[in-house]
Structure 1
Amino acid sequence: MSMLELITKASSSSDHSTTNSQYPIGLNPDPILLNLKPQTQQPTDPSIVQRVEGWKISQTDSDIIELNQTFNKTLKIKLKNPNSFSKSEFITLLNSHLEKNNDKLGNLVVSGISDEGYTKSLLETLGFLIGDNVLGLILEACFKFEIWEIIETLIVSGLVNGSGSVSDNLVRNLVEKNRADLVCLCVKHVSNLEASDMLLVLKFFLSPSKDAYSGMSVVRKEWETQTVSAIETVTDKSIKVLLMMAHDGFMTNELCLHYLVASANVDDVMFLACVGKLNGVEIMRFVRYLKKWLVKYQKFPQVGSVSKGSGTHGVKVLESVPSLEHVTKCFGLVIDEHFTSLVMHPEFREEVESIELVVNSLVAEARLGYNLANLCAGLNP
């Protein structure tokens, strides 16, 4: 069988999970590589790559793999009998599994942590030892019992990736549960989001149901808390203005859009494809949302120079504030994908014409700043 045939056969397999993987966790390579040695000390042909022997994983890795496999089997059986499986039993089972891993690594997590933060601390420290097969079951149990704190920890800790069996239906389940706060965290922390997930998030934020506003109110409260805190503690006036810009005048669902527009995890090509699948109402809402940002940056041009690259200045939500560059890029994608609709329909055309006035003003300011910068450079050679 050729290499192409082998690859094709593997990719067409109906089961891509790691349930039956012999090594479901990331192995520690140091002891493995140190034990490798050539099969023969004097190869007959020096030009041929030498084969090695001595492959053996460490006892610790072997024990952790065994713990994962045992936990995987136990949790899978428990989830098949949901009526006899409770939330408290799941938490106890999860903590016990993580504690056993903790013992194998020399007690990285110390005791004495409060009950509410104990599981979170275990996951943050030992989550990297959880295989994808086990992680998928943990997410399944968390959705079943609506344990949102654990899902949040898994997302923020980077344990959930955007592709693969682990994150299958993660975003969809969160949308169905109207957990806009956790959807925002997915956009912010989960890399390689699928195009279907991105479209679902975009539509969810642009056309939320009545039930969705309960979760979105959590996002608004976070923005309000961070803004008030910044006003009281941050000395940089531009940061205060930027946070007030991001909060004032935006509807609750539009605050969630901030995360999507500002996210570094959003692929431009997939985003363009998703924008193309919006209906007329959603396009208009998105255009008006972007217009709000353009108007704000026109009124407060001094905040355009606020740098978030060196950190968040103690304000976590600052990194989710769309820059002028983010906004113009998104508006450009909308124009590229819906140019005919935006030009032919009177309502769309009026919005675009009003935005054009704002854009012309921003361009004029940019040119003035560029000329002033050149002048200063000439005066200070």
Structure 2
Amino acid sequence: MSLLEVITKASADLKSQSSESNFPIILNSDPILLNLMPQINQDNKGALVRRVNGWKVSKTDTKVIDSDQQFLKKLQRQMKNPSKFGKTELMVTLKSFLETNCQNLGISHPLATSDEGRTRNLIEKLEFSIGREVKCAITEACIMLEIWDLLETLIVSRLVQYPSSTHLVSSLIENNKSDLLCLCIEHISDLQASDILCILKYFLNPTKAAYTSLEIVRKEWESQSLIAISKANLEKKREEKLGLACEAAILLMIAHDEFSDSELCLHYILASPNIDEVILSSCVSKLNGEEIMRFVKYMKKWLNKYDRFPEASPCPIASSELGLTLCQWVPKLKDILKCLNLVVDEHFLSLVLHTEFHDELVSLKGIVESLSGEARLCCSIAHVIKKLKSKDEGMN
């Protein structure tokens, strides 16, 4: 049998199997491996490889697996009868399942002021014990019932995975949940190219109904910008050397000022480490003329910012040390240039033949030349410093 036939057969067998795994969670390997013993008999005494026996899943893992499967069957049964299934029923069922897992694993129940807060805390604490099928079912239930606060917890806890994420993205766009779409880009690593394209198009042309959720995104950027400025001022009052807080304040300031609410959402797409050049190129190629113009104007704002504030530089460490998580989601200059290059490559004829693009391209050329000049100067200075350092080391 050829390799292609083996792969085709394996793929067909996989599709024919039930989606529910016998081991839906990550098993604790220590007790399993310690109990494995090699089989010794007359036939394999001289063999280099021997079979082992003693495979046994621990009682704790077995209880968690049984709990997962029972909850999954119950939830799927409830979802088939939507007329009798609402938010209350979901929260009661989910809370009972999570508390059972707490007992099985010997984990103390987290305290919270409300049942909903308690459920969210339990989800965050027990993420490792929730099987893939269960995660998908909970996500589908939240989408069906439009329980956005619980859905936010699932996204942030990284419980949403493909294929649930595809249905999730389309539902969030339909319900104008811009803030949750930003969280999807942040926390869902397996978003498909089609999902990213839909999100990009939505951010480039948001509906009027999206105003409320876009305002939530802006307030988050405003809040972290003010926190960074406050920390930088504190450094100044103490007459300390201006360091990380000042860098973060400059970075968040240029990322927030003069950008519209929907453009703040575009930051996440360009800064995402999960969206590579191939995916971005595919998405950019499918934009229409109006979307291209808006995207080019957005990138022009960024180039102007980096030209006016050359001291602005990435400071991802501010996320962990100062709690300014948005510093990770500010596009770097190389991200902007890479994306602009993709737009020109994919839509060169449109950009050349349509006069409305000419003014934008001419102004972009001036900004890029200015940035290139600064880059060449910085490279020259860096080269001189390197030479001086090498000579100094040689003299010593």
TM-score (norm 1): 0.92
- Contact 2:185/2:268, CA 8 A, preserved across alignment: yes
* Cα pair 2:25 2:130 within 8 Å, conserved: yes
Given the alignment of the two structures, is residue 260 of structure 1 paired with residue 269 of structure 2, yes or no?
yes
Aligned AA for 1:36?
L
Residue identity opposite 2:277 in structure 1: D
Task: Write out per-residue CA displacement over residues 173-229 of structure 1, whole angstroms, 9 at most, x where no aligned residue.
Answer: 111111111110111111122111011111011111121222111111111111122
| Mapped pair 1:296 → 2:311 | no
- Kept after mapping to 2: 8 A contact 1:18/1:133: no
- Once the two structures are superposed, residues 15-71 of structure 1 have per-residue CA deviations (whole angstroms, 9 ceiling, x without a partner) of 589643211111111111111122225654745532112211111111111111111
1:339-366 CA distance string (max 9 Å, x none):
2222222222321121111011011111
Q: Deviations over 1:3-25 (max 9, x none)?
A: 64353134246958964321111
Indicate which of 195, 198, 206 corresponds to 2:196: 198
Aligned alpha-carbon RMSD (Å) = 2.2
Structure 2 residue 177 is the aligned partner of structure 1 residue 179: yes
Given the alignment of the two structures, is residue 243 of structure 1 paired with residue 246 of structure 2, yes or no?
no
Deviation string for 1:106-152 (max 9, x for gaps)?
12434455434211110111022111211111112212222212211
For 1:135, the aligned partner's letter is K
Q: Matched residues in 2 for 1:150 and 1:227: separation?
A: 27
Match of 1:216 among 214, 217, 222: 214
Instruction: Pick the aligned partner of 2:285 from 276, 288, 305.
Output: 276
Aligned partner of 1:82 in structure 2 is 82
Q: Is residue 180–residue 212 contact of structure 1 (8 Å, CA) maintained in 2? A: yes
| Residue 358 of structure 1 pairs with residue 367 of structure 2 | yes
Going from structure 1 to structure 2, the CA distance change for 1:38 and 1:74 (only over 3 Å counts) comes to: same
* Amino acid in the other structure paired with 1:186: C
Q: How many residues were matched structurally? A: 378
Matches of 1:87 and 1:41 in 2, distance apart?
A: 59
Question: In the alignment, residue 141 of structure 1 is paired with which amino acid?
Answer: A
Q: Which residue of 2 aligns with 1:324?
A: 333
Unaligned 5+ segments in structure 2 are 236-244
Q: Does 1:374 align with 2:383?
A: yes
Tell me the distance in 2 between the aligned counterparts of 1:225 and 1:288: 25
CA distances 1:248-289 after superposition (whole Å, capped 9, x unpaired): 111111010011111111121011011101111111110110
Residue 68 of structure 2 is aligned to residue 68 of structure 1:
yes
Instruction: Single out whichever of 9-18 and 151-160 deviates more from structure 2.
Output: 9-18
Structure 1 residues 43 and 353: alpha-carbon distance in aligned structure 2, compared to 1, 3 A threshold: farther
**Unaligned segments of structure 1, at least 5 residues:** none
> Letter of the aligned partner of 1:284 in structure 2?
M
2:242 alignment counterpart: none
Aligned amino acid, residue 178 of structure 1: N
Cα deviations across residues 289-318 of structure 1 (Å, max 9, x unaligned)? 0010000000000113x4325745321211
Q: What amino acid maps onto 1:240 in structure 2?
A: A
Identity of aligned residues (%): 48
Change (3 A) 1:53 1:166: farther
Judge which range, 27-36 or 64-73, deviates more: 27-36
2:94 maps to 94
2 CA distance for matches of 1:326 and 1:346?
A: 27
Opposite residue 346 of structure 1, the aligned amino acid is T
| C-alpha separation in 2, matches of 1:153 and 1:263 | 20
Query: Which of the residues 350, 354, 360 maps onto 1:345?
Result: 354
* One-letter amino acid of the structure 2 residue matched with residue 372 of structure 1: I
Distance in 2 between the 1:289 and 1:17 partners?
48
Counterpart of 2:168 in structure 1 is 170
The 10-residue stretch of structure 1 (312-321 or 52-61) with the greater mean CA deviation from structure 2: 312-321
Moved more, 5-14 or 254-263: 5-14
CA–CA separation in structure 2 for the residues paired with 1:14 and 1:31? 29
**1:143 corresponds to:** 143
Once residues 18 and 374 of structure 2 are traced to their aligned partners in structure 1, the CA distance between those partners, rounded to angstroms, is 55
Residue type at the aligned position of 2:95: N
Q: What SS does the corresponding residue of 2:206 show, helix, strand or coil?
A: coil
> Retained in 1: the 8 A contact 2:318–2:324?
no
Report the TM-score, using the length of structure 2 for normalisation.
0.89
Point out the more displaced range, 169-178 or 36-45: 36-45
Q: 1:18 and 1:136, CA in 2 relative to 1: closer, same or farther beyond 3 A? A: farther
* Among 303, 307, 314, the residue aligned to 2:315: 307
- State whether structure 2 residue 129 is matched by structure 1 residue 121: no
Indicate conservation of the 8 Å contact 2:32/2:56, yes or no: yes
